[in-house]
Structure 1
Amino acid sequence: MILLQGIRPLPLTEDAMPTNIPFTSNYHDLSSTDGYQFEFHCDRCGNGYRSAYQRNVAATGQRVAQGLGNLFGGRFYGVTSTADRLLDRSTNSEAKDRALNKAVTEISPHFHQCLGCGDWVCGDVCWNEQVGQCVRCSPVASEELAQLQAEARRYQVRDKLREVDLTSEMTLDEQSHPRCGSCGAQSHGGKFCSSCGSALSVEVTCSSCSHTNPAGALFCSQCGTGLV
Structure 2
Amino acid sequence: MLATLSRVSALVPFTDNVRDLSNQQGYQFEFRCERCGNGHRSAFRRDTVETGRKVLRAAGHVLGGFTQRVSRTVDQWQYDRTSNSPAKDRALAEAVERARQEFRQCRGCGDWMCAAMCWNDEIGQCLRCAPVVAEEVARAQAAAQRDQIRERAQQADWTADVDMSARAVVACPSCGSKVDGGRFCSACGSALAPRVRCGGCGSEANRIGALFCMDCGQKLP
Q: Mark yes or no: TM-score above 0.5.
A: yes
> What secondary structure sits across from 2:53 in the alignment?
helix
Paired position in structure 1 for 2:188: 195
**Alignment check: 8 A CA contact 2:27 2:44 kept:** yes
For this pair of structures, how many residues does the alignment match?
Answer: 203
> What secondary structure sits across from 2:100 in the alignment?
helix
Paired position in structure 2 for 1:99: 91
Task: Measure, in 2, the Cα distance between the counterparts of 1:33 and 1:136.
Answer: 39
Task: Measure, in 2, the Cα distance between the counterparts of 1:77 and 1:61.
Answer: 14
AA matched with 1:123: A
Task: Measure, in 2, the Cα distance between the counterparts of 1:189 and 1:26.
Answer: 62
Paired position in structure 2 for 1:18: 8
1:134 aligns with 2:126: yes
Task: Measure, in 2, the Cα distance between the counterparts of 1:194 and 1:79.
Answer: 84
AA matched with 2:12: P
Task: Measure, in 1, the Cα distance between the counterparts of 2:187 and 2:92.
Answer: 77
Paired position in structure 1 for 2:75: 84
AA matched with 1:215: N
Paired position in structure 1 for 2:145: 153
- Bigger CA drift: 70-79 or 154-163? 154-163
Paired position in structure 2 for 1:118: 110
AA matched with 1:221: D
Alpha carbons of structure 1 residues 188 and 151: separation in structure 2 relative to 1, 3 Å: closer
**Could you give the per-residue CA deviations for residues 5-33 of structure 1, whole angstroms, max 9, x where no partner exists?**
xxxxxxxxxxxx63356242211100011
Paired position in structure 1 for 2:66: 75
> What secondary structure sits across from 1:109 in the alignment?
coil
Pairs within 5 Å for 1:44-83: 44-83=35-74
**Alignment check: 8 A CA contact 2:27 2:91 kept:** yes
Task: Measure, in 2, the Cα distance between the counterparts of 1:51 and 1:161.
Answer: 52
Task: Measure, in 2, the Cα distance between the counterparts of 1:139 and 1:212.
Answer: 69
Alpha carbons of structure 1 residues 154 and 196: separation in structure 2 relative to 1, 3 Å: closer
Paired position in structure 1 for 2:210: none
Task: Measure, in 1, the Cα distance between the counterparts of 2:192 and 2:133.
Answer: 66
**Alignment check: 8 A CA contact 2:174 2:190 kept:** no
**Percent identical:** 38
AA matched with 2:18: Y
Task: Measure, in 1, the Cα distance between the counterparts of 2:80 and 2:114.
Answer: 33
- TM score, norm. by length of structure 1: 0.69
Higher relative contact order (CA 8 A, sep 6+): 1
Task: Measure, in 2, the Cα distance between the counterparts of 1:150 and 1:199.
Answer: 43
**Alignment check: 8 A CA contact 2:196 2:204 kept:** yes
Task: Measure, in 2, the Cα distance between the counterparts of 1:80 and 1:193.
Answer: 82
Alpha carbons of structure 1 residues 95 and 144: separation in structure 2 relative to 1, 3 Å: same
**Alignment check: 8 A CA contact 1:201 1:215 kept:** no
Root-mean-square deviation over aligned CA pairs: 4.2
